[in-house]
Amino acid sequence: MTIKKMDHSLLIFVSVICVTNTSSLYAEGSNRILNGSPASENQFPYMISLQQLSEVHSVTRGHKCGGVLVTLQHALTSAKCLIESDGVPMVPINPAAYRVFAGSVFLTNDNSIERVRHIAKITIHPDYDTALPANQPRVNDIGFIILGSPFSANTVTPLAVAEISLTEVVQCILSGWGMRGASATVANTQLMYAQMPTIVQNTCSILVNSHSLVSTQLCAWAPSIQGVVGCEGDRGGPLMCRNGLAGILIDIGSCRITPSRPQLFTRVSNYTAWIDSVVSPPIPEVESEPPTVASPTTPATSPTSPATSPTTTATSPTTTATSPTTTATSPGPPAGATISQPVMAVLVVIVIVQVITANAINTIY
- The domain ranges of the chain are 8-279, 293-365
- pLDDT at position 259, please? 55
- pLDDT at position 206, please? 85
- The pLDDT tens digits for 223-276 are 644 444 456 688 999 999 999 999 999 975 555 555 557 889 999 999 999 999
Query: In the chain, which residues have pLDDT < 50?
Result: 1-32, 181-185, 224-229, 288, 290-339, 343, 347-348, 351, 355, 358, 361-362, 365
Name the CATH superfamily for 8-279.
Trypsin-like serine proteases (2.40.10.10)
DSSP 150-171: PPPTTT-----B----TT----
